[in-house]
Amino acid sequence: MMRRTDGTSSTKRLSTRTSGLLLLAGMALLLPGFAFGAALPQTDGQQHLGVASCASGVCHGSVKPRTGSDVLQNEYVTWSQRDRHRVAYQTLLTRESQQIASNLGLANAHEADVCLDCHADNVPAEQRGAKFVISDGVGCEACHGGSENYIATHADSATNHQQNLDAGLFPSDVAVERASLCLSCHLGTAAKMASHDIMGAGHPRLAFELDTFGILQPAHYAVDADYLADKWHSHSLTVWIIGQTRSAAATLDLIDARLDKGGLFPELALFDCQACHHAMSEPRWQADNGTGLPAGSVRLNDANFVMLFAIGQVVAPELAATLREQMLGLHQAVARRQPLAAPIAAIDNSIQQIEDRALATVTPQQAAQFLQALVNAGADGQFGDYVAAEQAVMAIDMLLNVADLRSQHGDWLDLVYTTVGDEDYYDPAQLARAMLEFGL
Ligand code: HEC
Ligand code: HEC
Ligand code: HEC
Ligand code: HEC
């Protein structure tokens, strides 16, 4: 099912971003000390002390936000009452999960690493502190890193953000890092993946967009002056682009590590689900689907790459053209079972270049340009696969907000959402017609 952010919450979020704050945010981009590629919490080697260690009333368990503090201090209440991560472990106890487990031949879901790796803070036993309980699900330290070395000092006013990072706090403020954190569970890694075996057993399909999901997760932090003073921050547009570049890069990692399962079929979860799963009475194959493959071919899930073609149109048209060529090569190589290392390395390089260019140049004033690039791509039939259409619609929603065009195009946005309302009966031609109705 397609999640929809409600315009009011994101508008509220945007309205707090006065131009002064944006200026500060721009500076944060240039500050030294933002190290990339931090170890993810699940493999950080630190003791995870448990949610109870963070949740006391004087720490993060205040019932109401506190004034005079750098952080809200009611993070625990927000997380425990409104955040789905709180119930991620409970989900493993439901009938649905028990059915998935039994279809997979597992005794149960709530003790299986294959489920706990994403539905809880599943660190090794020797890294679980005295108050750690697995039933906390995706708790504080699953995102913020094991607190062994920062718990005692991180609340001191004498300790700065960099010192916390050095002591093991995960840099979840930095979009590049945050993306790999969220994607590690919302897409998967070489080590943990919602494979087609798990999907076939009944697991819902995963779909993720960094900015949208960042809004859907109830915020337990406020981007205020002291936040901006020492943390990374940028506008939705940049966060969306980073989400696309990092998702594309993570997809390549998965293709590299998991595509070949050694059997007759490759890992089917890496392909467009609806390429196989759609009503036969509704044919949807298109000759110009960007893969160069003949009718009847199974296509890689290239949704994030399709977004990057549109993003590239605005930030670096020559890179977008290169990426398009390279993707044709990858589709062909996968279909013919040719070696993938060289095409993957080349694509990774293009993604990095687009990301660097975007980080250096993109401003929120360009939102309408990105919107037009997506609308053109849609009208041109480039969102032939449902997964690409789903990504496009999440992006269009965000871009209308940033460009301050949402109220003006509210009816059109509703129309666009109806085109992706049912993934089993998605009709690319209907979406293309909707795109043609857009006029800035
Ligand atoms: C340790 C794994 C893990 C990490 C890391 C993680 N998530 Fe999740 N997330 C989950 C699981 C599992 C669920 C589903 C929980 C349930 O409903 O049982 C979920 C659910 C969500 C939902 C609710 C989706 C819905 O359909 O309502 C949002 C929004 C979300 N995550 C956003 C994020 C964001 C943003 C990040 C990164 C900052 C993130 N998640 C990091 C595992 C994770
Ligand atoms: C790669 C990470 C990953 C793995 C492995 C994984 N899940 Fe999930 N699961 C998720 C995420 C993320 C969501 C939320 C999807 C969303 O709403 O966007 C989810 C959602 C679910 C849901 C639907 C929850 C709801 O709120 O409707 C069920 C049920 C579920 N998972 C059960 C399982 C079981 C059982 C296993 C083990 C066989 C498992 N999952 C393995 C990441 C994972
Ligand atoms: C699914 C991931 C996730 C979970 C679970 C999570 N957080 Fe966060 N948290 C974030 C993100 C993303 C941010 C915003 C980026 C940042 O400041 O690092 C954040 C920010 C914060 C901040 C920074 C506020 C500021 O003004 O600097 C605090 C404090 C915090 N979280 C505490 C907690 C506590 C306590 C828990 C558990 C009760 C928790 N978080 C659970 C992802 C998560
Ligand atoms: C190459 C074609 C192909 C692709 C791509 C593919 N699947 Fe499948 N899927 C199958 C086949 C074949 C079955 C077995 C159907 C059966 O048992 O009747 C299946 C079974 C399933 C089932 C169980 C359905 C049932 O009727 O019991 C689910 C759910 C599922 N797939 C989800 C997905 C998701 C989600 C994706 C994308 C991440 C995906 N599939 C990608 C071919 C595919």
141 with 176, same domain: the answer is no
Last residue of a domain, one of 118, 135, 170: 170
Asked whether the beta carbons of 62 and 73 are under 8 A apart, the reply is: yes
21 with 109, same domain: the answer is no
Q: For 397-417, what is each residue's pLDDT tens digit?
A: 999 999 999 999 999 999 999
Which distant-in-sequence residues (6+ apart) come within 8 Å of 75 by Cβ? 54, 60, 140, 220, 221
- Type of residue found at 60: H
Last residue of a domain, one of 135, 151, 170: 170
| Residues spanned by the domain of 49 | 41-170
Q: For 123-175, what is each residue's pLDDT tens digit?
A: 999 999 999 999 999 999 999 999 999 999 998 888 999 999 999 999 999 99
Nearest CA to ligand 2 atom 41: 115
The pocket around ligand 1, CB under 6 angstroms, is made up of: 3, 84-85, 87-88, 91, 118-119, 138, 142-143, 178, 181-182, 184-186, 213-214, 216-217
Å from CA of 143 to ligand 1 middle: 10
Task: Count CB atoms within 10 A of the CB of residue 314.
Answer: 20
Average pLDDT over residues 411-434: 94
Nearest CA to ligand 1 atom 41: 182
Distance, C-alpha 227 to centroid of its chain:
22
Verify whether ligand 3 is closer than 6 Å to residue 122 (CB atom): no
165 with 179, same domain: the answer is no
Asked whether the beta carbons of 45 and 127 are under 8 A apart, the reply is: yes
Nearest CA to ligand 4 atom 42: 276
Q: For 214-269, what is each residue's pLDDT tens digit?
A: 999 999 999 999 899 989 999 999 999 999 999 999 999 999 999 998 888 999 99
Range from 3-7, 55-59, 88-92, 293-297 that averages highest in pLDDT: 88-92
Q: Which of 428, 358, 341, 361 is nearest to 393 (CA)?
A: 428
Helices (H) and strands (E) in the chain, counts: 21, 0
Q: Does residue 352 surpass a pLDDT of 60?
A: yes
164 with 244, same domain: the answer is no
238 with 195, same domain: the answer is yes
Q: Which two tokens stand for residue 8?
A: 């009011």
196 with 289, same domain: the answer is yes
246 with 372, same domain: the answer is yes
What domain count does the chain have?
2
94 with 214, same domain: the answer is no
Nearest CA to ligand 4 atom 10: 276
Å from CA of 144 to ligand 3 middle: 7
Å from CA of 140 to ligand 2 middle: 18
Q: Which two tokens stand for residue 140?
A: 């504080």
Whole-angstrom Cα distance, residue 410 to residue 180? 32
Whole-angstrom Cα distance, residue 48 to residue 53? 9
Last residue of a domain, one of 137, 170, 203: 170
Å from CA of 89 to ligand 2 middle: 10
Output phi, psi for 302, to 5 deg. Answer: -110, 25
Å from CA of 58 to ligand 2 middle: 33
Whole-angstrom Cα distance, residue 67 to residue 61? 14
24 with 51, same domain: the answer is no
